[in-house]
Structure 1
């Protein structure tokens, strides 16, 4: 059907010709005289008094009822935006819950098939998309409010519409409108800032490593509460002892050092020699996989300590010179060194100088000091003293890291003999050769007691004495150093002893013996105690960097407040949002030829023309909205 045309005519106007369909359905074509059809009056003058209004045929409402229809529509059309805001908030709450639950947890406890960063990205994306949906709708609605409040250049319509479509349009809005519309400006800020949500969300989670305790794994460390030597155990081996038995020789009367009949002896001796050279064995310990490090609480153990002093300045020699012209002649100088403050338990040090006879000019053996000026008085002598003694060693912070045992800080205390007991010799097969004396030592500060036999220490001394014995000679003014005792022929340590740092070496010996006392197989303590400790491993865990979460949180809060403000401000106004039909139906009024667009115009041409066209969204007398020209 052809649309109906209704006009409100005023008298005293020019003649006009109107054609169309009458309300009764009859066609007419006539001239009307004496009626005035004024142009639209807008701005500060008045609303439209008259305008042509087209009403669809059989419309269920009258033009004058448009206001009521819009009011009812506004009551329902915000539900989509409210649901979007609620979805954005829900996604953000879910994100906070996930982050709070797994902050500080091991990554191995994450059993979901999606990785944590993927979950964070999904929740951030849902929150952002829901938020921008509501923001876009509000910006679209604000372009109508922008022209409803006061006259504006029509170019603002394009700026606001572009801002509702994404960050680039919002950036143009901030540069063009500035604070012409505060609410739209804030929405543009939120839209632009939303670009940074995705990259910042990827920075929320960090996956560092830490040391975590293994509850199902226990570490072990050797501690000497008692010391029963495996190498020097006062037992006679059955096979070797049997070979030495015969008429007049029985097992209890074997006259051999027991160390030569024990398979563990060489292991201990090689460990002591390595200690002399600075290579010290470690106590027994266990730090089983998957542990990568272990630690033990503070503990005390039996050990060997040493004291070291340089007595050169206080040592005073008492010398005795002897000589003989017998064949061969000899000249000997023997000096005994004493020093102030010597304990009665400390031995005096004897040193001997022997002047060997050699052939003279007449071919006879002579022992005259031709080249030696010291034979009647001792040459310059450096006197060093080292004492080894049993002590209690208290360790704090002992642990294993990267497979290396660290003793932690060690505090030592001299032990005091408390009591002893003697175990009679057992002459049965596998029994002891001699009576054995066991001594109980006491630590005054801790009150701990330690038990050890005296036999193994005498054997340790018997091994170390020839190893450390040293002789120095001069042959034709050339120095000659050799080791003393039978061990010197097998392992000459003379030059090493002459050149080494004796303070460090004696300390290494004490540490080597202590390590042997705190170890077993390899090691030398049959009565070793294993101390329980904690085991750890490096694990990757989830660390939430909450500052990176602030942007997403602020965006959601700001968008929620702005949407609520838009709903409040636009209440009672027509809710058109991004409707294309609204732009078609609520067209321009008051512009004649300048309001028309040509067929070859560009977007730039339209933008330049719209800047000079100032209008306002107004209602006519029947309540229909038009973009009316203002002066």
Structure 2
């Protein structure tokens, strides 16, 4: 091993002229050092020495000097570089590497262009997916993938690709800035931070160091944070009613012929049990839902039907109070007289506080052919009167076979039906001889010409049974009434209802029911008669002749509602990033700046020149270096030896 002893630092080389250990301090060199020349000729002679274990060549700083090709360099200061496989040239500094780098070895904008294209495609996919499903039901995809997941994935792709373009464009902008003019060296760090994240972009924006184009890029870099949240806000999910023609069905009666022969009936026919049950349900259920027994299908729980016709029982009530006349039985004092109406109903005296008179059509046809039953009610205390006040009233209600036009709705599983129109057969027909060869059935023709039929046997069965069920009866308050013989149907109660109170004798439960409804509810008589008619209609619609009517099932459906206003932010971000990239590309081309972008190698290979480095020689800490960078202006220039940041 051979050494050269001198002042300053030494450079040690092997026999091929490669630097092995640069910068050996003088004090580390042992005495009696042999000086070996770096001259190639001398080096080759040294290599011929067989006794030499290893050949090294060292030059001190005061060794041979070479002129610098860069301004600002000091001839007494030499940078140290390690060369790989190249002969060492003592006069070279950091420029020795740059000499071997072509000046045109810049990058390419292809990755950024591809990133922008991908982001535009992802944004277009978001808009396309939203436009496709806007106003439609939520899609059902495999593995429970939701629309939100698709939008989130596309938004993530958009954000990621946009950041590639923004970061590299911002990094390239610093090279453009230093190429176009002398700029404070500290702005390298400002642009570098802006290219790496939001905080750096905020600093660049508010310090106004980036110029117009840099501020625009920083603004886009900040707004890109809102891309994901705003993309998620574009699609909302609302509910609406959707109608389906499946899953909604109810029945209507085209005819009713249910009857059984019976010797106990005055007409020779008795009703079938479902009809009897319907009558009792209408009279005594008092649940406000006389149609609750009607079977229907409504899978959604909410269904509706267009108006349809059905054979039914109609109820009609009229006020007879204006026709009341005082009635006195023969031989009675005027104080014991009662009241009567021309239709044949009466109250015998003041103790008879309520009465029910039934009138069943006879076979001779004394009432319209479709009439089933007529009931006349009278009382001494009016519903709107004062307790104990004598205020006679009378009301007539009639049940008839009819054709009803119904509008049916089911809401939350509860059936409601409204009568849109009704029609009866008011012809009078003699039914005394059913074997006279004529058709005695009751027919009602609808508006579209369809005949609806009530069989004569069914009509006669109802009339015969009603003659006993609705037998004339009354409610009395007198000692004589209480002492009357209690029959199977009569009842004595101490009843307080409405304005009426006191111990009352009722001839039957039917009379009790009508009395109760009259004084308990407004229009109580009409309500009870209508409930009975509706319940009988249900029996008609549940018989063999009933046919189904299809309706519309109403479902609550979640659907996609797009709020296009929230799409402004993703669109602005993507197109802003694309515009920023185009502007950066144009500026790079106009200023002939190499496309180095965020390359760390470019920063290493094309760093500060010697003068700039010496300028920072006294700054021993990072803080001092930053302070010095704020007041030092440099510019990116090209020379014969490469591209450098010069002061």
| Normalised TM-score (structure 1) | 0.69
1:278/1:508 contact within 8 Å kept: no
CA deviation string 1:17-38 (max 9, x = no partner) = xxx97999999999999x9999
CA deviation string 1:433-491 (max 9, x = no partner) = x9983122245x6665432244255247436634x84323245999443323x556xx8
Matched residue of 1:92: which SS?
A: helix
Structure 2 CA distance for aligned equivalents of residues 162 and 405 of structure 1 = 70
1:88/1:130 contact within 8 Å kept: yes
Structure 1 CA distance for aligned equivalents of residues 316 and 272 of structure 2 = 31
1:173-252 → structure 2 map (5 Å cutoff):
173-177=204-208, 180-214=210-244, 217-228=246-257, 230=258, 233=259, 235-236=260-261
Give the root-mean-square deviation of aligned CA atoms.
Answer: 4.6
State which of 284, 301, 305 in structure 1 corresponds to 2:294: 284
Q: Is residue 531 of structure 1 aligned with residue 535 of structure 2?
A: no
1:422/1:436 contact within 8 Å kept: no
- 1:145 CA displacement: 0.8
Name the counterpart of 2:628: 609
From the superposition, tell whether residues 380 and 97 of structure 1 become closer, same or farther in structure 2 (CA, over 3 Å). Answer: closer
- 1:52 CA displacement: 11
Name the counterpart of 1:483: 506
- 1:351 CA displacement: 2.4
- 1:425 CA displacement: 6.0
From the superposition, tell whether residues 421 and 324 of structure 1 become closer, same or farther in structure 2 (CA, over 3 Å). Answer: closer
1:334/1:352 contact within 8 Å kept: yes
Name the counterpart of 1:561: 579
2:267/2:463 contact within 8 Å kept: no
Matched residue of 2:306: which SS?
A: coil
Structure 1 CA distance for aligned equivalents of residues 518 and 627 of structure 2 = 102
Q: Is residue 576 of structure 1 aligned with residue 596 of structure 2?
A: yes
- 1:255 CA displacement: 5.4
Name the counterpart of 2:310: 301
Q: Is residue 471 of structure 1 aligned with residue 475 of structure 2?
A: yes
1:85/1:130 contact within 8 Å kept: yes
Structure 1 CA distance for aligned equivalents of residues 346 and 228 of structure 2 = 86
Name the counterpart of 2:8: none
Name the counterpart of 1:596: 617
State which of 307, 310, 330 in structure 2 corresponds to 1:322: 330
Structure 2 CA distance for aligned equivalents of residues 387 and 128 of structure 1 = 78
1:252-401 → structure 2 map (5 Å cutoff):
262-274=272-284, 278-282=288-292, 284-287=294-297, 289=299, 291-312=300-321, 314-323=322-331, 333-337=337-341, 347-353=343-349, 379-396=390-407, 398-401=408-411
From the superposition, tell whether residues 379 and 79 of structure 1 become closer, same or farther in structure 2 (CA, over 3 Å). Answer: closer
Matched residue of 1:164: which SS?
A: helix
Structure 2 CA distance for aligned equivalents of residues 93 and 78 of structure 1 = 22
From the superposition, tell whether residues 388 and 266 of structure 1 become closer, same or farther in structure 2 (CA, over 3 Å). Answer: closer
- 1:55 CA displacement: 13
State which of 512, 517, 522 in structure 1 corresponds to 2:537: 517
- 1:224 CA displacement: 2.9
Matched residue of 2:303: which SS?
A: strand
1:422-437 → structure 2 map (5 Å cutoff):
437=440
Structure 2 CA distance for aligned equivalents of residues 67 and 182 of structure 1 = 36
Name the counterpart of 1:503: 523
Structure 2 CA distance for aligned equivalents of residues 333 and 496 of structure 1 = 25
Aligned residues: 525
Structure 2 CA distance for aligned equivalents of residues 169 and 175 of structure 1 = 10
Name the counterpart of 2:452: 450
State which of 90, 105, 110 in structure 2 corresponds to 1:79: 110
1:209/1:540 contact within 8 Å kept: yes
- 1:615 CA displacement: 2.5
From the superposition, tell whether residues 297 and 66 of structure 1 become closer, same or farther in structure 2 (CA, over 3 Å). Answer: farther
1:415/1:442 contact within 8 Å kept: no
State which of 163, 169, 178 in structure 2 corresponds to 1:132: 163
State which of 181, 193, 199 in structure 2 corresponds to 1:162: 193
Long gaps (5+) in structure 1: 4-19, 42-50, 242-252, 339-346, 357-377, 427-433
- 1:544 CA displacement: 4.2
| Normalised TM-score (structure 2) | 0.68
From the superposition, tell whether residues 470 and 187 of structure 1 become closer, same or farther in structure 2 (CA, over 3 Å). Answer: farther
2:278/2:532 contact within 8 Å kept: no
Matched residue of 2:545: which SS?
A: coil
Structure 1 CA distance for aligned equivalents of residues 430 and 100 of structure 2 = 115
